[in-house]
Structure 1
Amino acid sequence: MAHNMRFNFDKSAFGRHESFGLRYGWLTKGFNAFQEDPSVFENEDATVILGVGKNMVKSIKNWLFSANLISREVNGICATDIGKLLFGKKGYDHYLENEGTIWLLHWLLATNAESSTVFYWFFNLFHRTEFKNDDILKSLEQFVESDLKANYSHNTLKQDIQILLRMYSHTRESGNNEHLKELDCPLSSLQLIAYYKDAKSYQSKIEKRDHIPLGIFGYALLDVFSAMNFKEIPLEKLIYNQDGYATIGSIFRLSENGFIYHVEKLMAAMPNVFEYSESSGLRQLYLLDEKISKYDLLKWHFDQ
């Protein structure tokens, strides 16, 4: 079962990472061990099997849930379809060697409101493009208190923010000379958040981002069409967060021009799948091929 891309204010999760951000190799290692033995994370030998400490075992399990590679079903915890396609025995990219896999993992994290709430909140609901640590923490605390009506400690929320920023940000030194830190997390390579060391501030800019792989952009589009169960969606709903659904433009930090650029490229590469129309001030995207699935787009991406 896919995760629900619409925010459920009654279901949220914070502080389950054991203070460890996602690291290279963890998803592959954790998913393979889970497929061998679904009870591996409760196993007394889990630290030996996974080669990490006890808290890291819990963290790996958390990241598998957060990235929607495993999920809780009626009959227990199961591997998801996307988990099997990426990291199964015949998976597309066991070792995260394809940039598209990193973009896809970002999409999976930022759309999974129930299991990775802080990622969903930041990429869908926090709209400031420049901020400091205190700004983002205060905003998250206000959201939790007023919208979720939940009670999470200041330290828990602070740690979640620190983990998110550490996982995504790369450092820019003064003089605008870019210096990429050696980070364990693959998501920093997407450059969705920049840290300006001298100003001690962050930027998450809205840009054209024409390097986002087309197949992954198409996967995200079909994910939204499926979640909304529509055959036509106004462009604004795909670019800006509305109705509580995860939003492509917000998650990929895409400008309107960038979004339309990707749509047009996708229409040229896959005729008769999508159609874009603009008339009387109404901009709509249509799904013409009802048989195509997001997994077809994934196969198309990895087969290229």
Structure 2
Amino acid sequence: MKFSPKQTAFGRHETFALRYGWLSKGFHHLSRSASSLDKDDATVKLGVGKNMVLSIKYWLKACQLVDVSNQPTELGRLIFDEDDGLDPYLEDEATIWLIHWLIATNPSQATSWFWFFNKYHKPVFTSLELTTALGDWVRDVMVDGKRPSAGTLKNDAQLIHRMYCQSVISNRMPLEEVLDSPLSLLRLVSQAGGKEFQSRLAARPGLPIRIFGFAVLSLMKERKIKTIPLDDLMYSRAEFPAPGPVFRLTENDLITKLEQLVMKYPKALEIRETAGIHQLYLLQSTAPEKLLQDHYEKSQEGVVV
């Protein structure tokens, strides 16, 4: 979750955006055998081309569902296990919000995504401006390390808005080009007209409170703290991500969601003002994964959360 210029990854997606079915299919295959996607018949089993197999392997790592050795992570099993997973076939939109958080807070595997959602704050931009800004940031933070090529950075920048925008369908576009990524449902990036795109702060009523809570508790766990200023949740500080920019929340909506979260878990969380600073306190140890389990349990009961 913490950014390090010594642990970065660019351009490993083979220019393919994450697609529906890829995470479920890929995870289920790797759960049976960590080498299953390296075998010659992987293309047949997954029904995709060779480069797409490489892309699926990458996105599983970027989404923190498998580790660098292609072994399923605990979180991956919690969500996508075929028998006991909370949402093994990506049927709940909450899982898409979760996947977004996992990508945008994984700087070692999805560095460009971490940068865009945590460090890039221009609400309206062109693809060229995005590419230029990404290149400038890489030069600033990777002073001593090996930097990716300009072409690699361009591919990453273009894929970011392509993966989060809903397609404008044209009769001349091949089918493969209009298969939107599930992340486009979140509407965190949209076309603004002409060659411009926009990614603005807004109220996000579709973001489930417990998925938001998972993000908050995960950040506190990573930082090994039990108290966090609300500003650190609204703005990316130092090398850490923050829910505010990752979910593109306005300050008012962030505070509203925190208040709703505290109402649902009054024994575990509390907002206090100390010396003029509003902070969130973790009153008792609560695993972030508990909030995920609570969400899916309520969702199965038909309760709106």
Q: TM-score, normalised by structure 2?
A: 0.91
For residues 136 and 41 of structure 1, what CA distance do their matches in structure 2 show?
33
Matched, 1:302 2:299: no
Flag as ranges the 4+ runs of structure 1 deviating above 6 A. Answer: none
Which secondary structure does the structure 2 equivalent of 1:258 belong to?
helix
Quote the sequence identity (%). Answer: 41
Q: What is the root-mean-square deviation of aligned Cα atoms in Å?
A: 1.6
Q: Map 1:1-304 to 2 at 5 A.
A: 5-72=1-68, 76-89=69-82, 90-149=84-143, 150-170=146-166, 183-197=179-193, 199-290=194-285, 292-304=286-298
For residues 88 and 211 of structure 1, what CA distance do their matches in structure 2 show?
25
What do the CA deviations read for 1:140-176 (whole angstroms, capped 9, x no partner)?
0011112123321111111111111111013689xxx
Higher strand share: 1
Output the amino acid matched with 2:77.
Answer: K
Q: CA deviation at 1:196?
A: 2.3
Which secondary structure does the structure 2 equivalent of 1:188 belong to?
helix
Any unmatched runs of 5+ in structure 1? 174-180
Greater displacement, 209-218 / 111-120:
209-218
Q: CA deviation at 1:281?
A: 2.2
What do the CA deviations read for 1:6-53 (whole angstroms, capped 9, x no partner)?
101111101111111100000000000101111012112111222211
Q: Taking structure 1 as reference, are residues 120 and 140 closer, same or farther at Cα in structure 2, changes over 3 Å only?
A: same
Q: CA deviation at 1:127?
A: 1.0
Q: CA deviation at 1:182?
A: 5.4
Which secondary structure does the structure 1 equivalent of 2:219 belong to?
helix
Output the amino acid matched with 1:122.
Answer: F
Any unmatched runs of 5+ in structure 2? 170-176, 299-305
For residues 66 and 216 of structure 1, what CA distance do their matches in structure 2 show?
18
Greater displacement, 21-30 / 161-170:
161-170
For residues 67 and 241 of structure 2, what CA distance do their matches in structure 1 show?
19
Output the amino acid matched with 2:17.
Answer: G
How many pairs were matched up?
A: 288
Q: Is the 8 A contact 1:31 1:87 kept in 2?
A: yes
Q: TM-score, normalised by structure 1?
A: 0.91
Which secondary structure does the structure 1 equivalent of 2:136 belong to?
helix
Q: Taking structure 1 as reference, are residues 184 and 95 closer, same or farther at Cα in structure 2, changes over 3 Å only?
A: farther
Q: CA deviation at 1:249?
A: 0.4
For residues 195 and 127 of structure 1, what CA distance do their matches in structure 2 show?
16
